[in-house]
Amino acid sequence: MASYDQTERLSGVPTARDILAVPACRAGKCLSLHRGADGEVCSHAQHQVVTVLNEVSTFSTRRIWNSAHLLFCMIQVAAVSWSLLTPDPFALVRDTSLDWIENAGDLLMHAVVFTVLSATVFSLCLAIVGEIPAGAVFAMLGYCLTVEGLQEFVPGRTCDPRDAIANVAGFALGFAFVRVFILLRPAPAKA
């Protein structure tokens, strides 16, 4: 079999066997698998193949994580909606090892639940869009207030303005966590 250098000199294009057999640049100018010393993308065919495969792999992995993140958000919204719009949400944990949840402060529970929910939703927006759209902020704020208002129509529940304030405080805290994360994360690498 001709070496990579011979194949490149003879035909200008290495064969697939040569691409798989050569893990790094034989020309000695590459610092990594697909970047040249001058920062330009290396033109060697095996590096282009590796770059394409890495991009496909990264896209697939990102897509799986975003799908899982979206599913987690949907489960959280369903759980929060169910717990706030059910006549007795503590019936599930009563007489179990989780019965301490019923004794936790109501306002604290509202704040914690909406902190986690809004942080999850906003981090999903950040992962998919790259920023937090104003529509997502207003939708979460509307959800915080609407779900509390709907409790007025649930038997055994009341619409308490203090709960609505705790919901909004949790929303603001979750939003603040994600904003701080945006400020502290490292800048993306330049391509």
Please report, rounded to a whole number, the percentage of residues in the chain having pLDDT higher than 70.
65
Assigned domain for 189 exists = no
Query: What tokens does 164 get?
Result: 């609505």
Q: What is the pLDDT of residue 36?
A: 45
Look at 48 and 126; give whichever has higher pLDDT: 126
Provide the domain count of the chain. 2
Assigned domain for 73 exists = no
Assigned domain for 23 exists = yes
Please check whether residues 169 and 90 belong to one and the same domain.
yes
Greatest mean pLDDT among 64-68, 88-92, 129-133, 168-172: 168-172
Residue 14 structural domain:
4-51
pLDDT in tens, 97-144: 776 776 677 888 899 999 999 999 999 998 888 889 999 999 999 999
Please check whether residues 33 and 121 belong to one and the same domain.
no
Please check whether residues 125 and 176 belong to one and the same domain.
yes
Cα–Cα distance, 45 to 13 (Å, whole number): 7
Query: What tokens does 150 get?
Result: 């709907």
Phi-psi map region of 85: left, alpha, beta (phi>0 left; psi -120 to 50 alpha): alpha
Q: What is the pLDDT of residue 185?
A: 79
- What are φ and ψ of residue 84, in 5° steps? -90, -15
Q: Is the pLDDT of residue 175 over 50?
A: yes
Q: What is the pLDDT of residue 54?
A: 55
Please check whether residues 91 and 46 belong to one and the same domain.
no
The pLDDT mean for the chain works out to 75
Q: Is the pLDDT of residue 182 over 80?
A: yes
Please check whether residues 114 and 34 belong to one and the same domain.
no
Please check whether residues 151 and 101 belong to one and the same domain.
yes
Please check whether residues 96 and 153 belong to one and the same domain.
yes
Q: What is the pLDDT of residue 2?
A: 46
Please check whether residues 91 and 180 belong to one and the same domain.
yes
pLDDT in tens, 6-45: 444 444 554 444 444 444 444 444 444 444 444 455 555 5
What mean pLDDT comes out for the span 165-190? 88
| Alpha helix stretches (DSSP H) within the chain | 4-11, 16-21, 45-84, 100-103, 106-129, 134-150, 161-184
Q: Is the pLDDT of residue 153 over 70?
A: yes
Q: What is the pLDDT of residue 113?
A: 93
Q: Is the pLDDT of residue 146 over 80?
A: yes
